[in-house]
Chains A and B, each alone.
With several copies, the nearest count.
Chain A
Amino acid sequence: MSFWEYANPLKFLKLSGTLIPYFSILATITIIAGLSWGFFFTPDDYKQGATVKILYVHVPSAFVAINAWFMMLVASIIWLVRRHHVSALAAKAAAPIGIAMTIIGLVTGALWGQPMWGTWWEWDPKLTSFLILFLFYLGYIVLWAAVEDPDTAADLTSVLCIVGSVFAVLSRYATVFWNQGLHQDASLSIDKEEHVADVFYYPLIVVMAGFVLLFIALVLLNTRSEIMKRRAGAIMARSRV
């Protein structure tokens, strides 16, 4: 039995139906556990005070936002190469979640920036490329909404996603070149101690795992509803003839 069997919409509906409850429960548990650990059982930072706790929402949402785009890229390529409808719809389903996470990341970042840097916003490379990511999500979603025929829309958005990825990477380098900023460097790199202390680090890992689970659950859910919509459309088309 090959993995591609689940590219059949009906099989996918069945499988996702059983998986979603598990993922949602797991996600809820991990997020609640991670957040309470982070909120109530870690000390306030000596410098940042209690505001450091925004970290537990900010970093996971930013992480998911970036990786959601990757997922969409992979799904788009699969659609273009193998023409599995589920793949195209999964890409479509991930976009609103991705953009929501981007907005959460931006808002929590801004809320954090106010006490930390004394400003809501700074044109720092990381922030800027994050904002640019928001624009790419926006274009992608708008294109889906504007094209009526679902297969055409899937094709067009897939090409846009691939081309967009190239230009998103270029933009990232461009912003670095444009302004060397004051944002935190990656906290999950090898020399992590330098940035985020262990006490904050472990609960953060838990919350991030929770966000990833949540993302998977939401994508499955959204893909399901997209499939149902296509189904309803197909049934309508049949009855209309």
Chain B
Amino acid sequence: MIALIFRDLRIAVRAGGGFGLSLAFFFIIVIFFPFAIGPDLHLLSKVAPGTLWVGALLACLLSLERIFALDFEDGTLDLMVTSPLPLEGVVISKAIVHWLTTGLPLVFLTPFLGVLLGLQNSNVIFLIISLIFGTPALSIIGTFGAALTAGMKRGGLLLSILVLPLYIPTLIFGAEAARRGIQGFETQTSILLLSGVTLLSWAILPFAAASVLRINLR
């Protein structure tokens, strides 16, 4: 598993590996909102937590396709299944790498984007916390979706449609936590619920994803 994690991290940071791209995408898509909504900072700051959450979600989404499709195409997945590594371990490694290369970096970018959207500095902390607790769920759910569509050529769009509904609880609790924090309400419940979703996803989805992968390889 460690070998797999290191290999995937190495591929990610190589040219064409896509590290940093999801970050750039996050950045661009968030600064698109002012263009679309108009330059009213007051309105923008009201929708800022939601915008940042949707941006993070989309950045995660777009990087999902790479998770298994490349390994499927070049035959690595076939070989991995016949190797001593359990497939659940493969899924978990993939999800960890996805989080390390996508979810985690997003968190670091959030403060800067918060400023662009007119968020108060003191409020950005709520966004960061909600993203830290929420993005791992996005990664493992996404890995499950990637496993579902591993066999398809350019299944990116299909993948999005399958994964997005599964993202709803995470999005709702996450954005709610950030919004409540910014409006000065207590955030404990939403953070707890958000962590609950994350834990539940990590508990059940590796098995579902592994079984789906096996089906896709036949």
Residues A142 and B21 in contact, CB atoms below 8 Å apart: yes
* Count, chain A residues at interface, CB 8 A: 39
B79 within 8 A of A: no
| Shortest Cβ gap from B142 to chain A (Å) | 13
Residues A156 and B166 in contact, CB atoms below 8 Å apart: no
| Shortest Cβ gap from A212 to chain B (Å) | 26
Q: Digitize A112-126: 1 where CB-to-B-CB distance is under 8 Å, 0 elsewhere.
A: 000000011111100
B168 within 8 A of A: yes
A8 within 8 A of B: no
| Shortest Cβ gap from A227 to chain B (Å) | 19
Residues A146 and B144 in contact, CB atoms below 8 Å apart: no
Measured CB to CB, the nearest residue on chain B to A171 is B168
| Shortest Cβ gap from A126 to chain B (Å) | 12
- How far is it, in angstroms, between the C-alpha of A168 and the C-alpha of B176 when the chains are bound? 18
A167 within 8 A of B: yes
Residues A121 and B166 in contact, CB atoms below 8 Å apart: no
Residues B148 and A160 in contact, CB atoms below 8 Å apart: yes
A132 within 8 A of B: yes
Residues B162 and A139 in contact, CB atoms below 8 Å apart: yes
Stretch at the interface among A33-41, A57-65, A175-183, A191-199: A175-183
Residues B216 and A156 in contact, CB atoms below 8 Å apart: yes
Among B105-145, those with CB < 8 Å from A are 115-116, 118, 144
- How far is it, in angstroms, between the C-alpha of A163 and the C-alpha of B204 when the chains are bound? 9
| Shortest Cβ gap from A174 to chain B (Å) | 4
- How far is it, in angstroms, between the C-alpha of A193 and the C-alpha of B72 when the chains are bound? 59
A136 within 8 A of B: yes
Residues B24 and A138 in contact, CB atoms below 8 Å apart: yes
A209 within 8 A of B: no
Which residues of B does A touch, CB under 8 Å?
15-16, 20-21, 24, 28, 31, 34-35, 38-39, 41, 44, 115-116, 118, 144, 148-149, 151-152, 155, 158, 161-162, 164-166, 168-169, 172-173, 176, 189-190, 193, 197, 200, 204-205, 208, 211-212, 215-216, 218
> What are some 22 contacts across the A-B interface (CB < 8 A)?
A120-B115, A122-B41, A132-B168, A139-B165, A142-B21, A142-B24, A142-B158, A145-B15, A146-B158, A147-B151, A155-B215, A160-B148, A160-B162, A163-B166, A163-B204, A164-B165, A167-B165, A167-B166, A167-B169, A170-B197, A170-B200, A171-B169
